[in-house]
Amino acid sequence: MQIFEFKPPIKIHTELNPKLWKGEDLRLEVNRALMRIAGEFYKFLDIRAHVKDVLITGSQVNFNYGPESDLDLHLVIDFSEVECEIGARELFDTKRKLWKEEHNITVHGVEVECYVEDVNDKTVSSTYSLTRSKWLVKPERQEIRYDINKVKKITRHWEEVIDRAIATKSLKKCEHVRKELKQFRQDSLNQDGELGLGNLAFKALRNSEYIGKLMAAIRAYDDQRLSI
């Protein structure tokens, strides 16, 4: 019987990550590095639509960053300007995954994740504009108040779901769980923000390496599918 080990999902620091920030100002070399990455990512996308803004968001733009937190780099584009048969959102999600497979980019040891965001998407957490060098939504130090027992229950549920999916050795089922978990987290962020129970459970799963376990299984089963 596997022992359930819960790793707390979040810790509030007294300052933003000093590797990236000097007080509430983004370090100049970090800004320059991120803009270079954004430029390369845009070229990789191979589209004609103009970039409206370049943003960073997520835990590394807040006081709740941790050792596993990455830095979310978003290119803001008007999806209506993109001509694509499969739809802009699906196109960019596919491109993002291909970029991630080919690159492992860090800034002062912090992994950078690249995304494309529609100009009409709602900002749900602290956000900093690289192109304008200003905060769009400033982070606030919040007292941690959440029902830890509920987070533990949700985390354990998803660990069991992941374990069952991996045990089937089915790529389709593992991919389905990944998509469900991603949507579960996004729904939580949209409804309750960074301290939503679903987002906290996701962070706990990441801290316990269950997210990595699922992704490793997906890669392995995909390799098996392509092998003879």
pTM equals 0.70
Strands 21-22 and 51-57: unpaired
Domain boundary residue among 92, 117, 137? 137
Domain membership of residue 165 as a residue range:
148-226
Mean pLDDT of 184-189: 92
- In terms of domains, do 123 and 201 share one? no
Long-range Cβ contacts of 63-68 (<8 Å, 24+ apart)? 63/12, 63/13, 63/14, 63/15, 63/16, 63/139, 63/140, 63/141, 63/142, 64/10, 64/11, 64/12, 64/13, 64/194, 65/13, 65/16, 65/17, 66/10, 66/11, 66/203, 66/207, 68/206, 68/207
The two tokens of residue 116 are 């494309």
pLDDT at 20: 98
The two tokens of residue 161 are 């779901």
5 lies in a domain? Answer: no
125 lies in a domain? Answer: yes
Mean pLDDT of 9-13: 77
The mean pLDDT of the chain is 90
Q: How confident is the model at residue 3 (pLDDT cuts 50, 70, 90)?
A: very low
Domain boundary residue among 137, 156, 182? 137
Lowest-pLDDT range of 7-16, 17-26, 36-45: 7-16
Q: How confident is the model at residue 8 (pLDDT cuts 50, 70, 90)?
A: low
* φ, ψ of residue 147 in degrees (nearest 5): -80, 100
Report the C-alpha gap between 26 and 209 in whole angstroms: 29
pLDDT at 5: 63
Domain boundary residue among 112, 137, 162? 137
